Amino acid sequence: MKKSVIKMAAVAVLLSVSAPAVMAKGGFEGFLSGCCFGLRGGAEYNDQGTGQRNFLSWFLVGFCLGPRTQIDYAQGKDFHWREIGRVIPYIGVIFAIWDGVDGAGGRGRADLQQAYGASYF
């Protein structure tokens, strides 16, 4: 118990010292992006922002559908119904396998644009 309290205190001190430096450029949104989506997601937010999208919708797309979809969303693309299917518990595995079969078949962005439209891919 004593060790866990000491560890928590050390983490609190570290965060209080580093938080102003973290918040300097990207702010709280940059912190959330880096924390939830990794180093590349945080850097993408700091460099590109959310495009013309609201931060909350941009963040939720990345949180539910993944950072790559989030980047496309920020660049003006819409998300596809198959991407939303991956969020559904248990059924999402079927969509993941479906996407894997398309990937194994060599379908690229040009093929997906032809099949579903340029507004998605």
Read off the pLDDT of residues 23-62 as tens digits, 9 standing for 90 and up: 556 788 888 888 887 777 787 788 888 888 888 888 888 8
pTM here is: 0.61
Q: Are residues 32 and 85 in the same domain?
A: no
Give the per-residue pLDDT at 88: 86
Determine, yes or no, domain membership for 74.
no
Determine, yes or no, domain membership for 69.
no
pLDDT band (50, 70, 90) for residue 10: low
Determine, yes or no, domain membership for 73.
no
Q: Are residues 21 and 60 in the same domain?
A: yes
Domain containing 120 equals 80-121
Quote the mean pLDDT of the chain. 78
Determine, yes or no, domain membership for 72.
no
DSSP 66: -
| Listed residue (82, 85, 88) closest to 103, CA to CA | 82
Give the per-residue pLDDT at 1: 64
For residue 99, pLDDT over 70 is answered with yes
Better pLDDT: 25 or 76: 76
Q: Are residues 87 and 32 in the same domain?
A: no
77 CB-side CA count, 13 A: 20
Q: Are residues 58 and 96 in the same domain?
A: no
